[in-house]
Amino acid sequence: MSRFVFPAKCLRILMCVLQVLLPAAGLLQLQDVKKTCCEFLESQLHPVNCLGIRAFADMHACTDLLNKANTYAEQHFADVVLSEEFLNLGIEQVCSLISSDKLTISSEEKVFEAVIAWVNHDKDVRQEFMARLMEHVRLPLLPREYLVQRVEEEALVKNSSACKDYLIEAMKYHLLPTEQRILMKSVRTRLRTPMNLPKLMVVVGGQAPKAIRSVECYDFKEERWHQVAELPSRRCRAGMVYMAGLVFAVGGFNGSLRVRTVDSYDPVKDQWTSVANMRDRRSTLGAAVLNGLLYAVGGFDGSTGLSSVEAYNIKSNEWFHVAPMNTRRSSVGVGVVGGLLYAVGGYDGASRQCLSTVECYNATTNEWTYIAEMSTRRSGAGVGVLNNLLYAVGGHDGPLVRKSVEVYDPTTNAWRQVADMNMCRRNAGVCAVNGLLYVVGGDDGSCNLASVEYYNPTTDKWTVVSSCMSTGRSYAGVTVIDKPL
C-alpha cells in the first residue's frame, strides 16, 4: 500500500521547475522527458493537490495527465472540496467540477455544502455567483428534510430569488407521484453515475481480549485480508471515521486508561500520525463526519457516562464542544442521514440501564432532539447507514446479546425489524459498501468473533463472508476507504 507522496510545499517547488522543463522538452522534441514528468505528477495525485496538477496539465497540453487528474478529482470529490486548492478555484472551474455526472459522492449534500464553503471563503465577492452554482446542484435528489432544514435556511439561498426557484423546483419534485417524476426532466433530476473506486474495509485495534495495536484491511475485490501499519499504541473502544483521505482513530481505551488522543492513518503512505487531542477522555464513544467536521459523541471517561459532544476541524487541527445530548450515552452508535447526526441507544450510567432512546443533532441550530425509540434496548449496537436509512445491529440489554436488527426511516420517523444476523453480536463494527451492510467481529457474550457477515436489503438476508479476520476482536474501529491507486 505504500507510496511516497511529496509534501505540498515540495511539490509546488517541483512543479515550478517543471514549468521551465516541459516547454524546453517540447522545443527540443524530448518526448520521453515530458512523459516522465507527467508520470511523476500522476504518481503524486492526492485530494490536496489534484486540482493544481490538473491546471498544470491543462497549461502544458498534457492530455493524459489532465484526464487522469480530472477523474481523480471527481472520484475523490468529498475530500478534494476540503482542500485549499478547491477554495481558491475560479467560478468556471467550480461549475465545471460540480456539473460532472461522474462525481463520486454519498449524497448530493456534499455538492451543496461544497458550494456554500466555496462562496463563504470570499463571501463579499462570490455571493453573486450563487445562482450559477446552484444551477449545477441537483437539489431534487436531496431528502425533503435536508431541503427544509438546511437548504431553505441557508442565508445565501434566501438572498437569491434564482436560488429560491431551484428550491421550489426541488420541492415540487418531491410532491409528485413517482411515475410523474420521470416526466420532470432536467439536469438537476438526473442521477450522477460515478465510476466507483475499489474499496477496502479497515479494522483498527479492538479487544482480543486486551487492547491491541493490530490493523487489518479487507480487499472486497480480492476477498482477502492483509495487515497494514499498526497503531502507535494499543487502542480499543475508539471512534472511527474516514475523512479527507485519512482514517481517524478517536479516543478509546489503551488497556489501562481512557484516552483523549487521536491518530490519523494515511493509506497511501501506510503511516499513522497523531493529531490534536480531544477536550475530554472518551471510550465507547460514537464518531461520525457531518459537514466536513468529525464529531465525537458521548462515551465513558473512566468514572461516568458522557452526554457531551465535541467536533474536530481538520483545517485548524482543533476540537471544540457543541451542544450536549439530552441523555448520557456510553457504548453509543452514531450515523449521519439527511444532514442530521443520530445517536442510537447506548448505556445510561445514571440509571444503570441500556437504552432504546434515539436522538438527532442539527448542526445548524446546535440542538439535539429525541426521535422515535427503537423497539428494544440496545447498548453496544453497531450502527450503519445504507440507502438513507439508519440500521441498528445487534447490541445487548444486560446479559442478553442480540442478533436482531432494526432500521429507521427518517421520512416516516419509524423503526422496523429486518432479518436477524446469523450470530449474536455486540460491540461489532458496521460499515456500508456497494449496497451492502457489513458487520465485523464483536463478541457473542462469551468470546470475541473473527467472522464478518453482510446484509442485502434487496433480499433481506444476511450472508457470512468466507474469509475471517486473523484475530477475533470486539470494540474495534471499522471504516471503508478508497483503495490507494
For the residues of 290-350, what is the DSSP string, one character each?
ETTEEEEE--B-SSSB---EEEEETTTTEEEEEPPPSS--BS-EEEEETTEEEEE--EETT
Per-residue model confidence (pLDDT) at position 2: 44
Per-residue model confidence (pLDDT) at position 17: 55
Nearest to 392 by CA among 442, 338, 356, 339: 356
| 3-state secondary structure (DSSP) of residue 68 | helix
DSSP H stretches of helix in 100-160: 109-121, 123-126, 130-134, 144-146, 155-158
Per-residue model confidence (pLDDT) at position 459: 96
User: How open is the CA angle 377-380-382, to the nearest 5 degrees?
Assistant: 100
How many domains in the chain? 2
| Phi, psi torsion values for 196, nearest 5 degrees | -70, 135
State the pairing for strand pair 414-418/405-409: antiparallel
- Grid look-up 427503537 returns 374
Same domain, 222 and 315: yes
Q: What is the DSSP letter of 139?
A: G
Q: What is the DSSP letter of 150?
A: I
Same domain, 161 and 204: no
Contact criterion met (CB below 8 Å) for 270 and 226: no
Q: What is the pLDDT of residues 19-60, one digit of tens each?
A: 555 665 555 455 676 788 788 888 888 898 899 889 888 888
Same domain, 208 and 167: no
Same domain, 163 and 206: no
Same domain, 216 and 168: no
Same domain, 440 and 478: yes
Query: Does 1 map to a domain?
Result: no
The dihedral through the CA atoms of 470, 474, 477, 480 has a sign that is positive
Quote the cell numbers at residue 35. Answer: 512523459
Query: Does 188 map to a domain?
Result: no
Same domain, 213 and 161: no
CATH number at residue 342: 2.120.10.80
Quote the cell numbers at residue 309. Answer: 459532544
Per-residue model confidence (pLDDT) at position 61: 81
Same domain, 340 and 473: yes
CATH number at residue 39: 1.25.40.420
Q: What is the pLDDT of residues 335-375, one digit of tens each?
A: 999 889 999 999 998 778 999 999 999 999 999 999 999 99
Q: Which residues of the chain have pLDDT under 50?
A: 1-3, 28
Last residue of a domain, one of 177, 192, 213: 177
- Quick one: CA torsion of 334, 344, 108, 119, rounded to 10 degrees? -70
Same domain, 435 and 377: yes
| Phi, psi torsion values for 432, nearest 5 degrees | -115, 135
Query: Does 194 map to a domain?
Result: no
Same domain, 97 and 233: no
Per-residue model confidence (pLDDT) at position 1: 44
Query: Does 189 map to a domain?
Result: no
Query: Does 186 map to a domain?
Result: no
Q: Which range of residues forms the domain containing residue 369?
A: 200-482
Query: Does 184 map to a domain?
Result: no
**CA 428 to CA 473: how far, in whole Å?**
8
Query: Does 192 map to a domain?
Result: no
The DSSP-derived string for 435-449 is: TEEEEE--B-SSSB-
**CA 413 to CA 372: how far, in whole Å?**
6
Same domain, 318 and 170: no
Contact criterion met (CB below 8 Å) for 389 and 383: no
Per-residue model confidence (pLDDT) at position 434: 87
Query: Does 152 map to a domain?
Result: yes
Same domain, 260 and 224: yes
